[in-house]
A and B are shown apart, each in its own frame.
Chain A
Amino acid sequence: MNTKKILRTDLQQLVFLGIVVAIKIILSQFSFGPVMVKVGLGFIGSVLLGYLFGPLWGTIGGGISDLISSALFGDQGGFFIGFTLTAMAGPFIYALFLYNKPVKIWRIIASTILVTVIVNIGMNTLWLHIMYGINFNAALIQRLPKEMIVPWIQMVISYFVLQAVSRVKIKK
């Protein structure tokens, strides 16, 4: 789906960006799965931001979503600019693979793996290392098991969501 066809003016795009950011914030409050591997739904928001708004505004939207959710709910683990960068990097990578492109399985797999490796494993561990002064390897060992399981779940969800969203055509 091309939102440009539905939303004709810049203002409509901006307002829609604001609302999708709100959706991302709400989704990140939901999670499912057993306690050990809780899958948060916030990544769906990142996928949507990248898919609908492209690298520039998707990235900005990701940053805004982090700022607002920390204003509303308080950042879990403290306010730190690094996590805002993390929230920006996710939609950026998704945008590179998905923006204005047909929904393909390989695109979803590649983007999810890149986001997991660069953002969740790389950047977030680095921030924890910087912020709390913890040992990088120990932080990695703590995070790795989850990051090996969750991406596959994310891919399946992303595929169904993008399939559904790309079919949306609004009639007014």
Chain B
Amino acid sequence: MSKIIVGRYIPGDSLIYKMDPRSKLLVTILFILAIFLANNSITYAIVTIFCFLAVIATGLNAKVFWDGVKPLIGLIFFTSLLQLFFMTGGHIYWHWWIFSLSSYGLINAIYIFIRFTLIILISTVMTVTTMPLEIADAMEWLLKPLKLFKVPVDKIALVISIALRFVPTLFDETLKIMNAQRSRGADFNDGGLIQRAKAITPILVPLFIHSLETAIDLSTAMESRGYRSSEGRTRYRVLSWSKYDLIALIYFVLLVGLLLIFRTH
């Protein structure tokens, strides 16, 4: 349970922890886009080195990152294997029906494998070193430009913080409801298709009613504390840039610069 409350955040005090969540989020998103630039062995080596620099900079145990990759390792292998046999071109080593093993396919499969792993690793760096609340604040900051298109960013920010706040509470609630229904004979893991589908309603309806009641109570409480609308309010939780964010900027500029120089045009 405690796992879900704090998310995947692991406390620490290395370099990356001191960075602003906004710069971490931006660099993560841009890193994934920058991987698109890689198209030969040198550029793949560069992104791999940069990714491992970030991983090392977290100062965390390698097991943390292995746990991030582990649930997807089967999928990664399977996808790479499929690619291996579907890509054709270059020297062909082996051929049967629609499958063929070629040098082109082999290289591509390796590239895809690297891409998969790097994207998961860099995302893990982000979620492991930043508290969910900070990530939510960073997301809110990133959404701000959408105001120009009349997107109700303030309302969205309110929904984000309420949802984030209620995930652990409702998760507890869900487990309680499941146990309560189990204690009077409900079975969630057996029976045919329709029986299992039916078994979900005794969880969902109480959860749903509880949520409706919470929504009414919480909004009443908010209004009685003077909440009128999301606009014209001050902020208590403020994010601030520091000199460590310069490192994130340099890291990213260096990465993209090197990729642009060494990629095959």
- List residues of chain A with CB under 8 Å of any chain B CB: 3, 6-7, 9, 11-12, 14-23, 25-26, 29, 32-33, 41, 44, 48, 60-61, 64-65, 67-68, 70-81, 128, 130-135, 137-139, 141-142, 153, 156-157, 159-161, 163-165, 168, 170, 172
- Assuming the contacts A14-B158, A76-B72, asked whether A157 and B170 have C-beta atoms less than 8 A apart, the reply is no
Q: Which residues of B contact A65 (CB under 8 A)?
A: 163
Q: Which residues of B contact A41 (CB under 8 A)?
A: 200
CB distance from A161 to the nearest CB of B (A): 6
Q: Mark contacts of B190-210 with chain A using CB atoms, 8 A cut-off: 1 yes-contact digit, 0 otherwise.
A: 000110111011001101110
- Assuming the contacts A11-B222, A15-B222, A75-B123, asked whether A164 and B201 have C-beta atoms less than 8 A apart, the reply is yes
Q: Which residues of A contact B158 (CB under 8 A)?
A: 14, 18
CB atoms of A74 and B124 under 8 A apart: yes
Within 8 Å of chain A (Cβ to Cβ): is B8?
Answer: yes
CB distance from B183 to the nearest CB of A (A): 19
State in angstroms the CA–CA spacing of A111 and B265 once bound together: 44
Closest to B38 in A: A133
CB atoms of B167 and A72 under 8 A apart: yes
Q: Is the interface of A mostly helix, strand, loop or mixed?
A: helix
Closest to A156 in B: B197
Within 8 Å of chain A (Cβ to Cβ): is B182?
Answer: no
CB distance from B226 to the nearest CB of A (A): 12
State in angstroms the CA–CA spacing of A149 and B171 once bound together: 28
State in angstroms the CA–CA spacing of A131 and B29 once bound together: 12
Residue from B87, B200, B216 within 8 A of A7 (CB atoms): B216
Within 8 Å of chain A (Cβ to Cβ): is B254?
Answer: no
Closest to B7 in A: A72
Q: Which of A11, A61, A165 has the most CB of B within 10 A?
A: A11
Closest to A79 in B: B123
Q: Which residues of A contact B218 (CB under 8 A)?
A: 15
Residue from B86, B170, B200, B207 within 8 A of A135 (CB atoms): B86
CB atoms of B197 and A68 under 8 A apart: no
Q: Which residues of A contact B36 (CB under 8 A)?
A: 130, 133
Closest to A170 in B: B212
- Using A22-B164, A74-B68 as known contacts, list a sample of 10 further A-B pairs with CB atoms less than 8 Å apart, ordered by residue number in A: A11-B219, A14-B162, A20-B211, A22-B162, A32-B196, A78-B123, A79-B29, A81-B29, A153-B197, A159-B197
